[in-house]
Structure 1
Amino acid sequence: MRHADYVAAQSQSKSASSALTASWRRSLVKHGLDPADARRPERLTDAELSLRREPLGAFLQVAGPQLDQLFNLIGASGCMVLLTDSEGLVLDQRAGDADVRQFQEWGLSRGTDWSESTQGTNGIGTCLVEKRQVTIHRDEHFHTRNTALSCMDAPIWGPDGRLMAALDVSSARSDQNDRFNRLIAAQVAQTAKVIETMFFKASFPQARIIVAPDEAPDAAVLLAVDKDDIAIGATRAARRVFGLEREGAFRPLPAADLLGREDDLTGFDKAERAAVARALARAEGNVSAAARALGIGRATMYRRMARLGLNEKDL
């Protein structure tokens, strides 16, 4: 049976219930695509692409070195690295000189649209629709013309918890197998996490970045905390871990409340304890120097330390 006929049959089968056939069904029924369509993806003009890239300039600057590093790891095997926006438009790429023309023939280049709504089931588009890491291997693609490709993708979440991009590695090697795909997919996921982490940090330049104790290996569980120990930002994974709104505006909260640090102090006592502790840390445990920095006497400093539960021996 031809690939296009098989995809069409499975897409309309009531018994087919896998994630892959669900994507095929979306492509065929929801988006009205034809699996036998052999047309390449359309490409934006350079001016149109520049307009799409402009709002993401800071993000692309952070991501660029990570794309280089990923390509240095896998490029020699004939793979290509692609970075798209949240709608599946390719914004940046890395490919070997010997391979770039062939990838362009498949429509894998800057300015092409690889959303699922236009290209059917594919690594980039399906990753963005399902908001998870995916691998679409050869004949798992919706369009017959893409069945020579293997695509490994991971989503990248923005500092506001919204889906921001997809990171893709595509290969057309005839000997590409499941084991090779898994190795590349793991590296793609790790690189996506690094990009997300670095851009989150860059988005809160004046804040301390705290890694949650139960950080997941495949997700960046980070909080941005200001000088007053107020959490002012959280990654998508951190929002999930701490039961916060998944995306959008972040409501500032005391970091101690999120991290579960409890003590007997309340209200202004907590703020005073933090201020005294900071002064002592800056003075490297010298109580007299810390007292002078706070503008109080040494005896007063000792009384405050006792009331706030700060022990000189622990400094």
Structure 2
Amino acid sequence: MLKHGLDPADRRRPDRLSDRELADRHQAMQGFLTVAGPQLDQLYNLVGLSGCNVLLTDAHGIVLDQRVSDGDAQQFRDWGLWQGADWSEAAQGTNGIGTCLAEGRALTIHRDEHFHTRNTAMSCMDAPIWGPDGRLLAALDVSSARADQTERYNRLISAQVASTARAIEAVFFRSSFPGARIVVASDDPSEQAMLLAVDRDDLAIGATRAARRALGLEREGAIRPRPAADLLGRQDDLHGFDRGERAAVIRALARAEGNVSQAARALGIGRATLYRRMARLGIGDEPARLSHD
């Protein structure tokens, strides 16, 4: 790419961080790498036998983790598809990792679509991973150098890469809000990355990038806490304190496993008072759920 001053005929391997620099990057993203590891293992179990290299980078295109067979390792090491290597677009021109990060979308760079001629034997399928703050966090890459790799096979791998990237994003989001309830903000079960983190007061305090976009929340950074019911479009006839009181009563009944007397004691009121409030708030006396001991 001219704007980066790169020569497509350059045969040098990608620059690689020193061991100390790579260790520092690992340390900075240790929590993310820990939760992503099992997902990398699952992806590698699906594609590894076909000669693929599974790589996970940071947002700057530095390879932080990978899965590759012993038989294929030397070939990928010779190409520089290895931990510590810089595969940003600024360093390597058009390539799966760098272009995925530059454009923020899933894509495939097949053989001679690569900028450097030395990379044209590879096919690379990539998907971005977004952090809990809505910012680009990483790229997931599967690279293959099989001569018989077809575009149809690439599409199958690409779909699996995108699915795994969403799974990593969802797992990391959940681990980032350990004290919150995680709510899927979509009726579509395939939208595993459209999540809200809801606190004990039923306020949404976190949202994945997909949820931010769908619900019109802040694009990046912390979100302003909002009632989860408002964001999810739940309508009822209660407003203000009545809505909060209803939520408090329902929580007390749930913790008491439906025992009204126990829930009343937890709330510091009499059982008769609790019954009156339940009637006013529209909380039905369902025999299968409530007891009166």
Q: TM-score, normalized by length of structure 1?
A: 0.88
Unpaired runs of 5+ in structure 2?
none
Post-superposition shift, 1:91? Answer: 0.5
Structure 2 counterparts to residues 194-273 of structure 1, below 5 A: 194-215=167-188, 217=190, 220-273=193-246
Question: Secondary structure in 2 aligned to 1:73?
Answer: helix
Aligned to 1:134: 107
Question: Secondary structure in 1 aligned to 2:238?
Answer: coil
- Whether contact under 8 Å (1:288, 1:298) holds in the other structure is yes
Aligned to 2:118: 145
Post-superposition shift, 1:213? Answer: 2.3
Aligned to 1:104: 77
1:193 paired to 2:154: no
Greater shift after overlay, 127-136 or 298-307? 298-307
State the superposition RMSD in angstroms.
Answer: 1.4
1:68 aligned partner, one-letter code? D
Q: Cα gap change, 1:105/1:138 in structure 2, threshold over 3 Å: closer, same or farther? A: same
- % identical equivalent positions: 72
Aligned to 2:49: 76
Post-superposition shift, 1:69? Answer: 1.4
For residues 79-128 of structure 1, what are the alpha-carbon distances to aligned partners after superposition, in whole Å with 9 as ceiling and x for unaligned? 00000000100011111001101101101000000001110100000000
- How many residue pairs match? The answer is 288
d(CA) in 2 for partners of 1:313 and 1:94? Answer: 53
- Whether contact under 8 Å (2:61, 2:86) holds in the other structure is yes
Structure 2 counterparts to residues 87-102 of structure 1, below 5 A: 87-102=60-75
Post-superposition shift, 1:217? Answer: 3.6
- Whether contact under 8 Å (1:83, 1:165) holds in the other structure is yes
- Whether contact under 8 Å (2:184, 2:192) holds in the other structure is no
- Whether contact under 8 Å (1:189, 1:218) holds in the other structure is no
d(CA) in 1 for partners of 2:100 and 2:263? Answer: 54
Match of 1:161 among 134, 139, 146: 134
Post-superposition shift, 1:248? Answer: 1.2
Post-superposition shift, 1:52? Answer: 1.6
Question: Secondary structure in 1 aligned to 2:90?
Answer: helix
Match of 2:97 among 95, 109, 124: 124
Post-superposition shift, 1:249? Answer: 1.9
Spell out structure 1 runs of 4+ moving beyond 3 A. Answer: 214-219
Post-superposition shift, 1:218? Answer: 6.1
1:41 aligned partner, one-letter code? P
Q: Cα gap change, 1:238/1:216 in structure 2, threshold over 3 Å: closer, same or farther? A: farther
Q: Cα gap change, 1:307/1:218 in structure 2, threshold over 3 Å: closer, same or farther? A: closer
Aligned to 1:14: none
Q: Cα gap change, 1:156/1:32 in structure 2, threshold over 3 Å: closer, same or farther? A: same
d(CA) in 2 for partners of 1:45 and 1:295? Answer: 62
d(CA) in 2 for partners of 1:44 and 1:213? Answer: 41
- Whether contact under 8 Å (1:92, 1:110) holds in the other structure is yes
2:177 aligned partner, one-letter code? F
For residues 54-89 of structure 1, what are the alpha-carbon distances to aligned partners after superposition, in whole Å with 9 as ceiling and x for unaligned? 110100111111111111111111000000000100
Post-superposition shift, 1:173? Answer: 0.2
